[in-house]
Structure 1
Amino acid sequence: MARFMVDPQIWRLFPTTKIAFVTARGIDNEHHTFPAEQLAQANMNAVKWVPNDPISNNEIIQSWRTAYQQFKTKKGARSAIENLLKRAKNGKGVTPINPIVDMYNTVSLNYAFPLGSQDMDKIVGDIRLTMAAGGENFLPIGETENMPALPGEVVYRDDQDIISRCWAWRDSGRTETTSTSKNLVFYMENIDPKRHELHEQAVKQLTDYLKAYFEVDAQTYWLDVDHSEITF
């Protein structure tokens, strides 16, 4: 058994945030498929969340940019949801990667929440959402050079090093979800209390998709300022 914990300093900065933490075991990501048309439709759906130009002039983007101003970030780092919505708005769209990644990108685009995934079997010890001391190792997906965390940066980490930098920006190559991943954790953050109902709908879509397309029953945990730790 492992734990997922949110450190108190996160709640001091973001007291109304809710985090959905979802586990799914026994996935066959090599032989199951996720419909390409679902991802294509999600790219079109996503445009409704960012109708204004420039993209920064939209409430969802503004909320995350304001949040990122509360802690140190790598220059140019944005929430993953901003990157997805920008691609959809520009007509480029999010392209297929593998069935699980396509599935959770579809949910993220449909509801405009950042949604991360990690290979549970590659996690070392517990997972913690915390603020970096600075200098912790981080090797992002697709890169070959270490990009250490900044002091005070909001990060996900395990007992070895950083697994996601700048809260919901980039994930580690060490723990990434691949076509051979079997056991996964997902986390979806909501920083806007007005969107809590949509947040719950997004999590339900994620778990429904896991059941419908990958034949697994997912377990959902909710964390907030009054519930800072779960065991999974």
Structure 2
Amino acid sequence: MKKFVAEDSFWELFPDAQIGVVVARGMRPGVEVPKEGSEAIAKMLEDANAKADELLTSDIISQNEVVAVWRGAYQKFKTKKGARSSIENLLKRVLKGNPVGPISPAVDIYNTVSLSYALPVGGEDIDAIEGDVRLGITEGGDAFRALGDEEDSPTLEGELCYRDNVGAVCRCLNWRDGQRTALTDESSNALLVVESVDPSRADELAQAVDELAALIEQYLGGEIAAKAIITRDSPELVIDE
């Protein structure tokens, strides 16, 4: 059995946070997504870029409220120099006129939801995860190699990250995914998360989670095995029996 667990050290920093979790099983490989499905996903991602542009109220990225809340969050734990939230990185591209392009069907779907709601969204391959996925402050030294990197970059003491029994899964909360557990075109079973540290956006978070699950079902044929909002009062969820 594997579980998703948000540890006490996370809630001590963000007592009112909510994390939407979707567990999808039996997703079809990217090459098996029908042409019309691929075209629909591409159009959704294009529209999401345009919607994100409308959400940006300032040309200075840090002055946009949906970014500022994460800038504040990242001041509460140790981070690698220059680390920013995943949603800031996506919105920065939109702001610079460099829209977020297609990567793979599953990633494109979660980027669509992330841009549409201006919330961090990510995904991991459940079959590559060893043991439970735990979100909390680490003592440092967790093994990690980021997507696209050729060298290891272990976690720092006092860093907030997702990790399993082998090492880090995603560093600095939602900054960078690791190669070991990242979703690929061949991933069949996925753990997807949507994060919010702003309690005023609870309804939007719930909508984003529902939309993410629906799109995975519709376009990738995935069965939604579990869907929940993780809170301090309900901090864990079984993700694999």
TM-score, length-scaled by structure 2: 0.94
Contact 1:29 1:100 in 2 (8 A): no
Question: What does residue 70 of structure 1 align with?
Answer: 76
1:159 aligns with 2:181: no
Question: What does residue 50 of structure 1 align with?
Answer: 56
Instruction: Give SS of 1:117's match.
Output: strand
- Count of aligned pairs: 232
Indicate the percent of aligned positions where both proteins have the same amino acid.
43
Deviation of 1:181 (Å): 0.6
Question: What does residue 234 of structure 2 align with?
Answer: 227
The 5 Å alignment of 1:187-198 reads 187-198=193-204
After TM superposition, the runs of 4+ consecutive aligned structure 1 residues lying more than 4 A away are none
Letter in 2 for 1:188: V
Contact 1:72 1:153 in 2 (8 A): yes
Deviation of 1:48 (Å): 2.1
Deviation of 1:120 (Å): 0.6
Deviation of 1:166 (Å): 0.3
- In the alignment, the residues of structure 2 paired with residue 80 and residue 88 of structure 1 have an alpha-carbon distance, to the nearest angstrom, of 13
- In the alignment, the residues of structure 1 paired with residue 148 and residue 234 of structure 2 have an alpha-carbon distance, to the nearest angstrom, of 34
Comparing 215-224 with 78-87, which one deviates more in the overlay? 215-224
1:101 aligns with 2:107: yes
Instruction: Give SS of 1:220's match.
Output: strand
Deviation of 1:47 (Å): 1.1
- In the alignment, the residues of structure 2 paired with residue 5 and residue 212 of structure 1 have an alpha-carbon distance, to the nearest angstrom, of 28
**Equivalent residue for 1:139, pick from 132, 145, 158:** 145
Deviation of 1:212 (Å): 1.3
Deviation of 1:53 (Å): 2.4
Query: 5+ residue gaps in structure 2?
Result: none
**Equivalent residue for 2:208, pick from 198, 202, 205:** 202
Question: What does residue 5 of structure 1 align with?
Answer: 5
Give RMSD over aligned pairs.
1.0
